[in-house]
């Protein structure tokens, strides 16, 4: 394996994996040892300031209105953001590949009928569908609980994105089925299952990897949109924010929720919003580096 491939594929993935590992280590190892500071005093014992505190050498991301270190909050929320997007992307890609493989071998009449229902999903923004399906759940969020809320949100986001990827995969498979060696394989006695696992999937392995990273980025962007409209993963909880008890906070503490719950601080304490925003930018940039190499390896 050449050094360029190691740099553009594995290094960004290792960084994301280390961030995920550090998030779990902090949550279960060091979080209990941290504390928030709402009021700071000077050497004379007088009040020097109240939270939120701007970025400093000691706290590069500053603090939120409850005096919590935003850097540590970002580290804590990384595992929820990354694992949610990772889980959706993996399941969506696998489901789309499986469904696309089946769809490509269906009779043309059935394919044409099914496309009448599936094609519109390619043109409707996924955010609109997810928002319509998830928003009513906020009315009964107190009755269903935290875990069922996340499970339902995960299921909706997972299902909404399957149709476009499935049609894409079925189109790729149909093109491969036109290759001469596929016809030869059938003449030699191969069945559809053999053709899929021995001829089609090995050819599409790189394409499947590209689709996975594309779905990962799309899921992260979708989480940002939902967060801005205060649709938080896991639902919300009473604010308890210093000076604003009526504010709703993200139940899970993932990055998109941090943006949504603090969007009104953009003018007074912009670092509270910019912190998770920068974290999203860096994460998406790392994924784009890998995706760009997979799409255009000859340019590296």
Confidence of residue 266 (pLDDT cuts 50, 70, 90): confident
56 sits in the region (left: phi over 0; alpha: psi -120 to 50; else beta) called: beta
Average pLDDT over residues 230-235: 86
Confidence of residue 2 (pLDDT cuts 50, 70, 90): low
In a domain, 269, yes or no: yes
Query: Over pLDDT 70: what percentage of the chain?
Result: 92
Q: What integer pLDDT is reported at residue 239 of this predicted model?
A: 65
Does the structure show a pLDDT above 60 at 299? no
Q: What integer pLDDT is reported at residue 5 of this predicted model?
A: 63
Q: Which residues 6+ apart lie within 8 Å of 33 measured at CB? A: none
Q: What integer pLDDT is reported at residue 292 of this predicted model?
A: 87
Q: β-strand 47-50 against 248-250: which pairing, if any?
A: unpaired
In a domain, 292, yes or no: yes
In a domain, 179, yes or no: yes
Q: What integer pLDDT is reported at residue 259 of this predicted model?
A: 92
Q: How far apart are CA 206 and CA 172, in angstroms?
A: 12
Select from 228, 163, 206, 208 the least CA-distant residue to 297: 206
- Contact between 169 and 201 under an 8 Å Cβ cutoff? The reply is no
Does the structure show a pLDDT above 60 at 245? no
Q: What integer pLDDT is reported at residue 154 of this predicted model?
A: 94
Does the structure show a pLDDT above 60 at 1? no
* Angstrom distances, CA of residue 75 to CA of 16, 33, 72: 12, 15, 5
In a domain, 291, yes or no: yes
Least confident window among 6-10, 104-108, 191-195:
6-10
* Angstrom distances, CA of residue 67 to CA of 36, 42, 238, 243, 255: 5, 17, 17, 12, 18
Average pLDDT over residues 259-277: 90
* 67 secondary structure, DSSP code: -
Query: Over pLDDT 90: what percentage of the chain?
Result: 41
CATH number at residue 213: 1.10.3720.10
Confidence of residue 264 (pLDDT cuts 50, 70, 90): confident
- Contact between 231 and 200 under an 8 Å Cβ cutoff? The reply is no
In a domain, 21, yes or no: no
- Contact between 24 and 78 under an 8 Å Cβ cutoff? The reply is no
Average pLDDT over residues 20-33: 88
Q: How far apart are CA 103 and CA 117, in angstroms?
A: 14
Does the structure show a pLDDT above 80 at 210? yes
Q: What integer pLDDT is reported at residue 226 of this predicted model?
A: 92
DSSP for 128-187, written as a single string = HHHHHHHGGGGGGHHHH-HHHHHHHHHHHHHHHTHHHHHHHHHHHHHHHHTSHHHHHHHH
Q: Which residues 6+ apart lie within 8 Å of 28 measured at CB? A: none
Expressed as residue numbers, the domain containing 176 is: 83-299
- Contact between 57 and 120 under an 8 Å Cβ cutoff? The reply is no
Does the structure show a pLDDT above 80 at 249? no
Q: How far apart are CA 189 and CA 185, in angstroms?
A: 7
Q: What integer pLDDT is reported at residue 99 of this predicted model?
A: 93
> How many structural domains compose the chain?
1
In a domain, 27, yes or no: no
Q: What integer pLDDT is reported at residue 244 of this predicted model?
A: 58
Q: What integer pLDDT is reported at residue 146 of this predicted model?
A: 78
Q: How far apart are CA 10 and CA 4, in angstroms?
A: 10
Q: Which pLDDT tens digit goes with each residue over 108-166?
A: 889 888 888 888 888 888 899 999 998 887 777 767 777 888 899 999 999 998 999 99
* 69 secondary structure, DSSP code: B
Q: Identify any residues that bridge with 238 across adjacent strands, giving them in sequence order.
A: 248
In a domain, 1, yes or no: no
How much is the mean pLDDT over the chain? 86
Select from 51, 45, 48, 55 the least CA-distant residue to 68: 51
Q: What integer pLDDT is reported at residue 35 of this predicted model?
A: 81
Q: What integer pLDDT is reported at residue 78 of this predicted model?
A: 94
Please give the residue that has the higher pLDDT: either 279 or 5.
279
In a domain, 273, yes or no: yes
């Amino acid at each position: 394996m050449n050094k360029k491939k190691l740099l553009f594929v594995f290094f960004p993935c290792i960084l994301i994996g280390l961030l995920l590992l550090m998030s779990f280590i902090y949550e279960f190892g060091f979080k209990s040892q941290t504390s928030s500071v709402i009021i700071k005093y000077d050497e004379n014992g007088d009040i020097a300031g109240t939270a939120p505190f701007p970025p400093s050498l000691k706290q590069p991301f500053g603090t939120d209105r409850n005096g919590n270190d935003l850097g540590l909050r970002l580290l804590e929320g990384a595992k929820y953001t990354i694992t949610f997007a990772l889980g959706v992307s993996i399941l969506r890609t696998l489901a789309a590949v499986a469904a696309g493989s089946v769809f490509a071998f269906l009779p043309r009449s059935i394919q044409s009928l099914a496309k009448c229902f599936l094609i519109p999903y390619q043109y409707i923004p996924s955010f609109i569908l997810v928002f319509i399906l998830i928003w009513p759940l906020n009315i009964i969020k107190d009755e269903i609980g935290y875990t069922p809320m996340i499970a339902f949100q995960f299921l909706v986001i997972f299902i909404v994105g399957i149709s476009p990827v499935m049609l894409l995969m079925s189109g790729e498979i149909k093109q491969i089925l036109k290759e001469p060696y596929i016809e030869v394989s059938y003449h030699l006695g191969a069945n559809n299952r053999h053709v899929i696992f021995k001829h089609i999937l090995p050819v599409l392995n790189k394409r499947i990897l590209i689709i996975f990273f594309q779905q990962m980025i799309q899921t992260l962007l979708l989480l940002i949109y939902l967060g801005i409209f205060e649709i938080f993963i896991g639902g919300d909880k009473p604010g308890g924010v210093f000076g604003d008890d009526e504010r709703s906070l993200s139940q899970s503490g993932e990055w998109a929720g941090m943006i949504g719950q603090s969007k009104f601080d953009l003018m007074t304490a912009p670092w509270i919003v910019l912190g998770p925003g920068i974290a999203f930018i860096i994460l998406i940039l790392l994924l784009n580096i890998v995706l760009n190499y997979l799409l255009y390896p000859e340019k590296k």
